[in-house]
Amino acid sequence: MFEFTETIEIEALPEAVWEVMADIEGWWPPSNPEHESLERLDDRGLEVGARIRIREKIAGVPGEAVGEITEVQPGARVTWEAPAARYGLAGIYVSIGEGVTWSVAPHGDDETCLSARVWANFPSGVRGRLIEWVFTRLLGGAEKDREHARVELRYLKRTIEAGARGAPEG
């Protein structure tokens, strides 16, 4: 298993950050060139049980993950988990459990901290340890996954701050 958290400060109120985060179809696809597609598998909004399929590359390895939202604290946190994401390289496919928790927290008077806590669980046993070693050591996957999350966070910061500057002041 590996797990990490990346955080960025955004010059906007938490409500503005949450509003963008809640529109996953609006921000997730363009937030990273490794993102290939996002598909809602039901008509549910941002609520526990909503199912989403994503296609992306992590460390250059293409994959597909079908998961669901497992936690929502409106204005503060949302978690998406895929218990059997499938990644493949050179005709070899593996399933791993993965997930992300996006957290929004006020920081000072007019700033917000946005965090992405990302984790992956590899299969148990010798095969799982080998897969984890190849991903983390040979492919540098853990660091590349961290950078993947940073790219998303930087995109969100630019998008949200541009929207906040463009909004009329009251």
**Is the model more confident about 109 or about 118?**
118
Q: What is the tens place of the pLDDT at every residue in 26-42?
A: 999 999 999 999 999 99
Question: Which residue, among 102, 70, 99, has the nearest Cα to 85 in the 3D structure?
Answer: 99
Mean per-residue pLDDT, 60-72: 96
State the pLDDT at residue 168. Answer: 46
11-22 pLDDT tens trace = 999 999 999 999
pLDDT-above-70 percentage for the chain: 96
Check pLDDT > 90 for residue 72: yes
pLDDT given at position 166: 63
- pLDDT value at position 167? 53
CB 151 within 8 A of CB 73: no
In the predicted model, is pLDDT for residue 170 greater than 70? no
pLDDT at residue 169 in the model = 45
Domains of the chain plus CATH, in order, are: 2-166 (3.30.530.20)
* Residue in the structure block whose two tokens are 């917000």: 112
pTM confidence score: 0.91
